[in-house]
Amino acid sequence: MLRLEPRSTQSFAAAWLSPVMALVLTAITGGVIFLAMGKDPSTALYIYFIEPLTTTSGLSEVAVKAGPLILIGVGLSFGFRAGVWNIGAEGQYIAGAIVGGGLAVYFYESESTLLLPAMLVFGMLGGMAWAAVPALLKTRFNANEILVSLMLVYVAELLLVHLVQGPWRNPQGWGFPGTRMFPDVAIMPLLFSGKRAHLGTLITLAVPFIAWFILAQTRFGFTVRVFGSAPLAARHAGVHGHRIIWHSLLIGGGLAGLAGVIEATSTIGQLMPNISPGYGFTAIIVAFLGRLHPVGVLLAGIAIAVTYIGGEGAQISAGLPKAVTGLFQGIILFYLLAFDLFTRYKIILPSRRTAAQ
Amino acid sequence: MKKLLKLTTVMLTVLLSLGAVTQASADKLKVGFIYIGPPGDHGWTYAHDQGRLMIDNMLGDHVETTFVEGVPEGPDADRAIAKLAETGHKLIFTTSFGYMEPTLKVAKRFPDVKFEHATGYKQADNVSTYSARFYEGRYVQGQIAAKISKSGVIGYIASFPIPEVVRGINAFMLGAQSINPDMKVKVVWVYSWFDPPKEADAAKVLMDQGADIITQHTDSTAALQAAAERGIYAFGQASDMIQFAQDTQLTAILDNWGPYYVKRTVDVLMGTWSSGDTWDGMGPGMVGMAPFTNMPSDIAMMARETAESIRTGAFHPFTGPINNQAGEEVVAAGETADDGMLAGMNFYVKGVDDKLPQ
């Protein structure tokens, strides 16, 4: 039998090369799949991975799509580093959209330029409040934060549906679920006319660098890193476990909430039942693909966004089915996990004698 | 069919006269479609895709069609629609209710592109809306269900509590009550258009609650197949699903978008396209019924007669007296509900065993 044995030291280069190798192998595997489908692999791969980055509107769309993935992914990576497993970012995203977007629902005739900044703050608070529940239950009753945060996703979804169909429903909406459209002052200004990239996109691109600074340069960042890699040692050094749990969940929740309200105030412009195509869950993949490093998450978010945008382009110009997008994302994850295994473990081949037994 | 033939001849004449024009501009007109599910759902999206293929078949020399499938109703829709517009599509059909705001937004950015939004209610200079009077078929289904059900309970899988869906439930209820005033309709909301596992689960819940006929306002064949497993009857939705449930499907409402799609494409080719709102039913052939199967011939006969009188306009499914759940009269005896009431319908008629989520 083959045996896996943990490596005593892990190579820094290998940890960073594995996502790159995963992408390369995904492209090669994809080429084989395209060939089997009777498409020219180089054209299909070009449409898929390169074309979205060759036009200004393509770049703008990649940035817009990557935005929430990066924001949430950066937030989650704090917690994941510290061993706090917040799986419910989707719920925190929705809570942020509800609390932040709720302001625009109540002040729908507002012309104040303060509305949008207030919504962003409220959105963050909403996400934090939602994440505070698993933090409280974890620190008080040692309840598993994976389950609690995940369950709260469904609660948030149902709450949103209830609000947009009930008390917040657009009175001029013929009974269709959804709030009024937000007033102009509650809409993110566009960066370029005719493109969808907006002010929130800039915030999104700045956050990973701020997070990098915090992780690398502050005492708090240090405790997160230490707590994740050696919790016992951290405790002896006086790091308080409860505090780390609270901070991790509040940061994750706050950034997810911010992502939610930014999305509501930019690409959507109202609250409605479908405000997230699963960003909170996809961001978990993004966080790991980015090695739980803020700048890595930024790159990973862009990579995943490219597969979405390229997937649409491939449907339009190459007639490829949508399933290929999901296939690619699955293959990336598969290769990444495989490479991670090899960076953390070495394979011990069976000796001849044991094989003969 | 006869109507289709007539349409074909009209189209051919049009195209012959068009020949000179299109030869001058060698480029084909590009027509794009945005789908909520995959064309292989064999329901809603499949029916739209059949309409797209009709354009290919009849206008293939002048037109090229493209589709983007599985586009979620939300922030992604805007991008997918815009992408079609950017890649030179001059006529774009967005085929789900939730694409309404994104369609309007993109239409503003591309004033020279024509947009057609299915089942919405907001138009613009370059945005038309169109829908079909599916409720006409629902009424016929309600009558059949009431004749066949032994438990007197019908299970109805509903997607979103919007007027279009509520209208279908009410029409079904009215049809059932016209046969047996004590019929009950139980409703499960799945808050999705296309989610086969959820649709099948909902069907099971309803059957556990005593429903012995299943019908659905969702896009897949899952509910029908769940009913087949338990050996009870059910209805197909949006297209003829008989091949998935030979001994189960009683009939199906058929969405027949093709003629409308061909007509609107020809309008663009000829430069006569203008914004409007189309809401057609059995009369113009936008709604049809699959063959009445798995039922005694007298019930099939009754169903055919009802469908025929709806088709000719002799009978309107929403004919009073109609009471809401509170027992208040909403349509007086002998009168029919007007399109305004139908389009904004947000109440249940008496007898629906559910509280409308709101």
Q: Top-level CATH class of B2-133+256-280?
A: alpha beta
Decide: A299 and A317 in contact? Cβ < 8 Å: no
| A355 Cα to chain B: minimum distance (Å) | 46
**How much of chain B exceeds pLDDT 70, in percent?**
92
Q: Which of B75-84, B109-118, B157-166 has the highest mean pLDDT?
A: B109-118
A189 vs B225: CA distance, rounded Å: 49
Decide: B89 and B113 in contact? Cβ < 8 Å: yes
The chain B residue lying nearest A275, using CA atoms, is B74
CB nearest to A274's CB, from B73, B109, B346: B73
Is A165 or B270 the better-scoring residue by pLDDT? B270
- The verdict on a CB contact (< 8 Å) between A321 and B78 is no
Q: What pLDDT sits at residue B3?
A: 57
Q: Which distant-in-sequence residues (6+ apart) come within 8 Å of A200 by Cβ?
A: A67, A188, A262, A263, A265, A266
User: Among B304, B308, B341, which residue's Cα sits nearest to residue B322?
Assistant: B341
Q: Where are the domains of chain A?
A: 63-293
Q: Where are the domains of chain B?
A: 2-133+256-280, 135-254+287-342
Is B6 or B227 the better-scoring residue by pLDDT? B227
| A266 Cα to chain B: minimum distance (Å) | 9
- The verdict on a CB contact (< 8 Å) between B80 and A166 is no
For B297-343, the pLDDT digits (tens) are 999 999 999 999 999 999 999 998 999 999 999 999 999 999 999 98
Give the domain B135-254+287-342 fold: Rossmann fold (3.40.50)
- The verdict on a CB contact (< 8 Å) between B84 and A316 is yes
Task: Report ipTM for this prediction.
Answer: 0.80
Q: What pLDDT sits at residue A339?
A: 85
Burial class (CB in 10 A: 0-12, 13-18, 19+), B258: buried
b/e map A232-255, b = 16+ CB within 10 Å: eebeeeebebeebbbbbbbbbbbb
What is the phi/psi pair of residue B128, to 5°? -100, 160
**Token pair 């293929």 is at which residue?**
B53
Query: Quick one: average pLDDT of A192-209?
Result: 91
Q: What pLDDT sits at residue B192?
A: 85
Q: What pLDDT sits at residue A175?
A: 66
CB nearest to A277's CB, from B72, B160, B345: B72
Tokens of A112: 């104040």
Tell me the average pLDDT of chain A: 89
| Rg (chain A; Cα; Å) | 22
The model carries a pTM of 0.84
Helices and strands, counts by H and E, chain B:
11, 15
| A136 Cα to chain B: minimum distance (Å) | 31
Q: Which residues of B touch A311 (CB under 8 A)?
A: none
B41 vs B70: CA distance, rounded Å: 11
Check whether the bond before B111 is cis (ω within 30° of 0).
no
- The verdict on a CB contact (< 8 Å) between A263 and B75 is yes
- The verdict on a CB contact (< 8 Å) between B74 and A317 is no
What is the phi/psi pair of residue A119, to 5°? -65, -40
pLDDT band per the 50, 70, 90 thresholds, residue B1: very low
For A221-238, the pLDDT digits (tens) are 888 888 777 777 777 766
